[in-house]
Each structure stands twice: as C-alpha cells, then as structure tokens.
A and B are shown apart, each in its own frame.
Chain A
C-alpha cells in the first residue's frame, strides 16, 4: 500500500493528482510567509508537510482550503480553484485545523450532527471506530486532549471527503494518545484516503507518511519518502559490538571494512564500531554469523527523520546543501 523508500512499488491508485500547487506566494505585510511553494499530492498518498513553527505550513494549507487568498501562484485541489470555487471545494475536504475548537457545551453527538453534510451518514460508526461511542453525550469541554483530536478526526471524515488535511494533529498529546491518533491515520491510509499531514513533529511524519516535504521560511527545501530523506541527510547507520576472545579479530575487521555499504570501521580496545549505509547492517550481521560468533552486545543505531532533518528545518544547515531551487524542482518532478 505504501510507497516508502526509493524504488518502492507505486500502486496504481497513486496516479491522479489531488493537489497541484505552483509558485504559491502568501504575504503578511511585507513578509513572504509562503515563498514560491510547489507541491503535488497524489490520490491515496499520505503526504507530510513538515517544518518548524512559522515555516509557512499552516498558511499553505489554509490557501489550499480557500481560507486565505494567495498573493501569487496557481492552486488546484481536486480539480477546483480554492479561491474562486471554495464553496464547491470545502465539502470535498475534511479538515482538522490547528488551534481551533468547538463550543465548550456542544456535545459529541451534536457536533457530529452539526458537521454532517446534507445526506451524509455514518457518524455513529465513525464515533465507534475512533473510540468515542461512549462519549456521545459528553460536552466538548469535558473531553481529554486525545479525545478532542479523535473527535476532530471524526468530524473531518464525515461525508467521506476525498482529501483530509490534518494540521498538528498530535499537538499536546501524551504518548498513548498520540499512538491512538497514529492508528486512526493508518486506518485512513488503509482505506485509500488521501491525507495531507501538517506537523512539526517529525516522529509523526516518519511514522505515517509515504512522502514528506520539508519547509523552512516559506520554501520547500527537500522532499521524498522519509527513508530517502534520512539517507540523504544522515546516511550512517552505526553498528556496535564487543569482540569475543576467540575471534580472529583482524580477519573479521578486514572483512567488515570490505562489506557492502560500510564506510568506516573503528576499534577501541575490545569494542568495534562500524559506520555505513543501512545496507551495511545486513552485511555486517552476515559476516558475524559466518565468523561463528554473534556478539551478545550487538547494537544498531539508525538515524531517525528527526536526526536527519533537525538541522535543515531549524536553519542550521547551509542553504547551498539542500535549498537550491534546481534540486527542489528535481525532487518534486520525481513524483509527477
């Protein structure tokens, strides 16, 4: 189902473009908060728009929903123009907005009734599916943070939207509630719903997205499947183990140095550290097995998306490395 990693199988479903944005610009005063963004989302994808607070993510999706009027660029969402055809477009989109609420005294079942479009059904099923069946009579103010986010998901899904936009869905949630919400998004993906996930939580993007786009200062710096971005910005896996006394250490270290994907091998006393591409994990493991001695203290560290992109997103990375437009367009072109 997923298109994770380079060379992944792309299902036939991922063909139609749900979102197409070219050169989107949005200014607040003299400042370009969105500065020439190009963006494509294909049907059935879960795409993450990631970046630090103030990167322009929310403004971008607000333009997509017709909640803000762009100052430049072209946008098509589900074949419609969000500026001139917002009334037709909004019923086709399910939205979970950042920093928005419901009236405190509105009950869960009443919220579902209020947001169910004409002829829409299935509210009770959705409440049950997202674990809110027992909370139908509860007021919004009495819900926990996790319950509120799940209710927002339910409201976003009423009427069977073709595109779901989730903005900072796990903001303020404890780990257990976050896992619940992740599971809910995975259910959406399994059903083939197209999801645009806006987040500054890179763990969310890594866990859920087929593809992510990294934004900083209103521009998309890089994009691709999470694993590709990790490879590009933090290639090394690190494998550590202790040498056993009976091991022919010189022969083993020579073999490891030649193994596919290994960049560098270090030895400090009885401890060995191997740096390399993720593929190296398999080759190092195979070499250890062939050597007849698999160390009990073997450990592997793989950089996460957060490890890989933190510097890029908070501005510590040099613009020349990833920020040039040619590379950006090449990357976006890869998904067209």
Chain B
C-alpha cells in the first residue's frame, strides 16, 4: 500500500480497533442489546412479530443497529475530531488528495459494519440461531445500500459539525430514537399509532425493513429498498462534495 490512499486506509483501519467509542458503540452495544431484547420475547412464533420467532426477528434487525452506530456515532465523532484538531489540515499539507480521506472513511465505515455484523451473527448463532435467508440477494442489497447511506451520512455530519463534542451530542440524539423506533426497540405492535407513524419516517426503519422483510420471508420490501437506494445516492453525493471542498 504505497499510494497515499492505501497508506491512509491502512492507518485508519488500525486506528479503528483502538478507538474505545467504536469498540463500545459499534461492536459491544449492538451485541449486548441484541442478546437482551432477543431473549425477552421468547422463541415461539408470535403474531406481534408477523408470526416469526421474536429472537430471529431481532437477530435480523440488529445488523441495522450496527449500521446506525457506525454512521451516526463513529464517523461523525471521528471526522469532527480530526477537523477540530487540525489532523485534516496536516493530511492536506502533506499532499494527501482530499478525496482520499473521504474514500478511506467510506471504506473504514463499511469494514466496521461488516466486522461488527459478523460478530453479532457469530454471537447470535449459538444463542438464538440465525434465521434462514429467504431472499439472500435482496438482503445483501439492503445491507450494502443501507451501509453506504449511513456511512455517507456519517461523513456528511463529520464535515458539518464544528467539534467532536457537537458530533457526539448530535450523533447520540439521532442514534437512540432511530435505534428504539427503527431497529432494536419494542416490536411494532407495541408502539402506538403516533410512534409507528414517526418510526415509518425514519431512514433507519427503511433500512431495517429492506433487510428484515426479505430475510424472514415477510415480503420483498421493494419500496423501502428504493428509498434506501435513493438515500444512499443522495448522501454519498453530498458527502463527496463536502469532503472534497
């Protein structure tokens, strides 16, 4: 890896596993909460979970929590911290093309999603089992587009927010409502009509539907997939423009 992008990517991947915020929110939090809530509603098919095993419902939902933690917490804090401390100026002065840092963050974000998702499934397998994939291609598409959308949102937030503290505050404020209503919180039937309406407006809900429905055989979720694809396209274009200014 002798190109500037290659050297940057190698360094950023090493730093990824040394960051306690990343380890906590991207790797530990989703696994821990998946284990708790996945065991709270039993393992028998339940009408409140579209007649599916509630544990499997949450195993299929929690990949989205990893995606949200990466995009809404890890990347904004990381990037805002770099900007605040002059690390990006140092990279620019050393001749690293501006696009190289944005691209490195995109790749690092996707690697974080892949690694944390593998960890989540690895932990879930012996405890709750992994639900059978009904439409693997659509699930993979949902995960890929959802990850690109939220990683791009993370890069965008990181370029807009003025400091690491601001990024942390905004990131947590966006993450927890999205997590509770759109991915890993109470099952939809437990939510009131208002909360369900709000949940349906959240981007993370669309990503969750685009992954969980084809995974558990609940439908193709083509509408959600189109929304996620549009979100991925818009967010990545905006992030690329901001990051290369």
Q: Enumerate chain A residues within 8 angstroms of B89, measured Cβ to Cβ.
A: 67, 97, 100
Instruction: Please choose the segment from B1-9, B42-50, B118-126 that sits at the chain A interface, where 4 or more of its residues have CB less than 8 A away.
Output: B1-9
Q: Are B94 and A105 in contact (CB under 8 A)?
A: no
- Of all chain B residues, the one with the shortest Cβ separation from A65 is B93
B238 touches A (CB below 8 Å): no
Q: Enumerate chain A residues within 8 angstroms of B3, measured Cβ to Cβ.
A: 118
Q: Are B15 and A90 in contact (CB under 8 A)?
A: no
B95 touches A (CB below 8 Å): yes
Q: Are B11 and A106 in contact (CB under 8 A)?
A: yes
| Bound-complex Cα distance A99 to B85 (A) | 7
Q: Enumerate chain A residues within 8 angstroms of B14, measured Cβ to Cβ.
A: 106, 110
Q: Is the interface of A mostly helix, strand, loop or mixed?
A: loop
Q: Are B11 and A110 in contact (CB under 8 A)?
A: yes
Interface size on B, as a range, is 20 to 34
A115 touches B (CB below 8 Å): yes
A269 touches B (CB below 8 Å): no
Q: Enumerate chain B residues within 8 angstroms of A298, measured Cβ to Cβ.
A: none
Interface size on A, as a range, is 20 to 34
The listed residue with most B CB atoms (<10 A of its CB), out of A87, A91, A114, A155, is A114
Q: Enumerate chain A residues within 8 angstroms of B97, measured Cβ to Cβ.
A: 87
Which of B4, B15, B93 touches A103 (beta carbons < 8 Å)? Answer: B15
Q: Enumerate chain B residues within 8 angstroms of A263, measured Cβ to Cβ.
A: none
- Of all chain A residues, the one with the shortest Cβ separation from B19 is A105
Q: Are B7 and A97 in contact (CB under 8 A)?
A: no
B92 touches A (CB below 8 Å): yes
Q: Is the interface of B mostly helix, strand, loop or mixed?
A: helix
| Bound-complex Cα distance A97 to B85 (A) | 11
| Bound-complex Cα distance A65 to B2 (A) | 23
Which of B10, B18, B82, B86 touches A97 (beta carbons < 8 Å)? Answer: B86
Q: Are B95 and A90 in contact (CB under 8 A)?
A: yes
A117 touches B (CB below 8 Å): yes
| Bound-complex Cα distance A263 to B188 (A) | 94
Q: Are A117 and B95 in contact (CB under 8 A)?
A: yes
B87 touches A (CB below 8 Å): yes
B90 touches A (CB below 8 Å): yes
| Bound-complex Cα distance A87 to B7 (A) | 17
Q: How far is the CB of A246 from chain B (nearest CB, A)?
A: 66
Docked complex: B48-100 residues within 8 A CB-CB of A = 82, 85-87, 89-90, 92-95, 97
Q: Enumerate chain B residues within 8 angstroms of A114, measured Cβ to Cβ.
A: 7-8, 10-11
- Of all chain A residues, the one with the shortest Cβ separation from B90 is A100
Q: Are B93 and A67 in contact (CB under 8 A)?
A: yes
Q: Enumerate chain A residues within 8 angstroms of B87, measured Cβ to Cβ.
A: 100-103
Q: Enumerate chain B residues within 8 angstroms of A116, measured Cβ to Cβ.
A: 7
- Of all chain B residues, the one with the shortest Cβ separation from A102 is B87
Q: Enumerate chain A residues within 8 angstroms of B94, measured Cβ to Cβ.
A: 90, 95, 115, 155
- Of all chain B residues, the one with the shortest Cβ separation from A92 is B95
A113 touches B (CB below 8 Å): yes
| Bound-complex Cα distance A105 to B86 (A) | 15
The 0/1 profile, CB within 8 Å of B marked 1, for residues 113-147 of chain A is 11111110000000000000000000000000000
Q: Are B7 and A95 in contact (CB under 8 A)?
A: no
| Bound-complex Cα distance A85 to B71 (A) | 34
List 3 tightest A-B contacts by C-beta distance, closest first: A100-B86, A90-B95, A95-B93
Contact sample, A vs B, 16 pairs, CB 8 Å cutoff = A65-B93, A67-B89, A90-B95, A91-B95, A95-B93, A97-B86, A99-B86, A100-B85, A100-B86, A100-B87, A100-B89, A101-B90, A105-B19, A113-B10, A116-B7, A118-B2
16 further A-B pairs in the complex, CB-CB below 8 A; given A100-B87, A114-B7, A114-B10: A91-B95, A93-B93, A95-B90, A99-B86, A100-B86, A100-B90, A101-B90, A102-B87, A103-B82, A110-B11, A113-B7, A113-B11, A117-B4, A118-B2, A118-B3, A155-B94
